[in-house]
């Protein structure tokens, strides 16, 4: 379904500039932007993917991963087609890098999406699997309906959204789960065809706008795993997002165009946890690792485990109903209530 795009300006000779993401593509008549799903038709910009769904699931919120956002609940999760990055290690490249005419998809209206989320007993709706920013018109309309229905809302994002677009959706967007893919411009340029600073800016702005922010940093051997880089990103989060911000260092497995790179050694992830903790982060998690104690949440005041997790779910909770540690009474920065009380 075609829908006229939001956030673009008309230029000379029927060209347009898309101001939705930080590529700010200048698009000639008949052409698409970098994301391949926003097209200039006779001087107007259109989304080619409104209502277009490639992926649908009811996921534990911990799978996003979001560990401090309605823990122990389920999130109705949707993805579409396309992306504004070209990550060589993308695990969802079959939907993010596929051409629109080659993709398998169905149409789900915003109204139907909300109905399905409620019918499944979900606490939230998440736009995920590929980049939700390029799906903006659909996610914006859906988010407004979600809030009316009492659903929480989630972007699982690469953070390349423009400030104006993020501010516009902010009254209807509760969680901003952002990937900081590395802490060097070189990585972003060579592996993702993007830039680092806009990602940092959007994460900081999301926090300022009142969204719940959690950070994922995929640790890729030889590309972004140096001690200095791990320390730099940890320090940046403390100084700009706050020491209570959950940070997930996750294990890389070979995908797509990085098949020749080995999985992340567990020792490297342990080092990332050690460094981040040294820099003052209070909630540091390790992901894509089975049976790690660093999947659990520990109270920074008394050290006791207050949320115990298995594979993408909560197995035990020692939170009170007002999100305090059962052992010492310290307040824990959780957005929403643990699902066990619902």
CATH of the domain at 76: 3.20.20.70
Residues 155 and 23 in one domain: no
Residues 195 and 256 in one domain: yes
Asked if the structure places residue 120 within a domain, the reply is: yes
Per-residue 3-state assignment (H helix, E strand, C coil) for the chain: CCEECCCEEECHHHCEEECCECCCCEECCCCECCCCCEEEECCEEEECCCCEECEEEEEEHHHCCCCCECCCCEEEEEECCCCCCCCCCCCCHHHHCCCHHHCCCEECCHHHHHHHHHHCCCCEEEECCCCHHHHHHHHHHHHHHHHHHCCEEEEEECCCECHHHHHHHHHHCCEEEEECCCCCHHHHHHHHCCCCHHHHHHHHHHHHCCCEEEEEEEECCCCCCCHHHHHHHHHHHHHHCCCCCCEEEEECCCCCCCCCCCCCCHHHHHHHHHHHHHCCCCCEEEECCCCCHHHCEECCCCCCEEEEECCCCEEEECECCCCEECCCCCECCCECCCHHHC
Residues 309 and 283 in one domain: yes
Overall domain count for the chain: 2
Give residue 69's domain range.
52-325
Is this structure's pTM higher than 0.85? yes
Is 90 marked as binding a ligand?
yes
Is 83 marked as binding a ligand?
yes
Query: What pLDDT tens digit does each residue of the chain (342 aa) get?
Result: 899 999 999 999 999 999 999 999 999 999 999 999 999 999 999 999 999 999 999 999 999 999 999 999 999 999 999 999 999 999 999 999 998 888 889 999 999 999 999 999 999 999 999 999 999 999 999 999 999 999 999 999 999 999 999 999 999 999 999 999 999 999 999 999 999 999 999 999 999 999 999 999 999 999 999 999 999 999 999 999 999 999 999 999 999 999 999 999 999 999 999 999 999 999 999 999 987 899 999 999 999 999 999 888 899 999 999 999 999 999 999 999 999 754
Residues 7 and 134 in one domain: no
Asked if the structure places residue 341 within a domain, the reply is: no
Residues 85 and 12 in one domain: no
Residues 270 and 321 in one domain: yes
Is 325 marked as binding a ligand?
no
Residues 7 and 140 in one domain: no
Residues 123 and 64 in one domain: yes
Residues 28 and 145 in one domain: no
Residues 101 and 128 in one domain: yes
Residues 137 and 166 in one domain: yes
């Amino acid at each position: 379904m075609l829908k006229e795009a939001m956030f673009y300006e008309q230029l000379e000779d029927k060209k347009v500039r898309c101001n939705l993401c930080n590529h700010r593509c200048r698009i000639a008549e008949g052409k698409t932007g970098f994301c391949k799903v926003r097209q200039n038709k006779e001087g107007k910009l259109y989304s080619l993917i409104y209502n277009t769904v490639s992926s649908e699931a009811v996921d534990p919120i911990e799978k996003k991963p979001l560990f401090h956002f309605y823990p122990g609940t389920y999130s109705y999760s949707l993805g579409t087609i396309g992306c504004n990055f070209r990550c060589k290690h993308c695990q969802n490249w079959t939907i993010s890098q596929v051409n629109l005419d080659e993709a398998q998809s169905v149409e789900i209206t915003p109204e139907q999406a909300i109905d399905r989320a409620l019918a499944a007993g979900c606490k939230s709706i998440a736009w995920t699997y590929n980049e939700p920013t390029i799906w903006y018109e659909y996610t914006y309309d859906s988010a407004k309906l979600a809030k009316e229905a009492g659903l929480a809302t989630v972007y699982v994002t690469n953070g390349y959204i423009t400030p104006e677009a993020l501010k516009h959706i902010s009254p209807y967007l509760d969680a901003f789960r952002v990937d900081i893919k590395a802490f060097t411009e070189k990585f972003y340029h060579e592996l993702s065809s993007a830039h680092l600073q806009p990602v940092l800016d959007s994460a900081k702005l999301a926090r300022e706008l009142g969204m719940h922010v959690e950070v994922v940093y995929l640790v890729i051997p030889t590309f972004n795993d140096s001690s200095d880089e791990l320390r730099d990103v940890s320090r940046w989060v403390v100084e700009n997002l706050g020491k209570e911000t959950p940070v997930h260092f996750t294990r890389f497995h070979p995908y797509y165009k990085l098949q020749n790179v080995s999985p992340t050694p567990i020792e490297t992830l342990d080092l990332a946890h050690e460094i981040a903790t040294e820099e003052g982060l209070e909630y540091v998690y390790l992901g894509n690792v089975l049976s790690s104690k660093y999947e659990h949440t520990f109270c920074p005041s008394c050290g006791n485990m207050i949320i115990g997790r298995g594979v993408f779910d909560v197995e035990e909770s020692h939170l009170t109903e007002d999100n305090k540690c059962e052992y010492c009474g310290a307040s824990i920065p959780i957005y929403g209530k643990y699902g066990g009380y619902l």
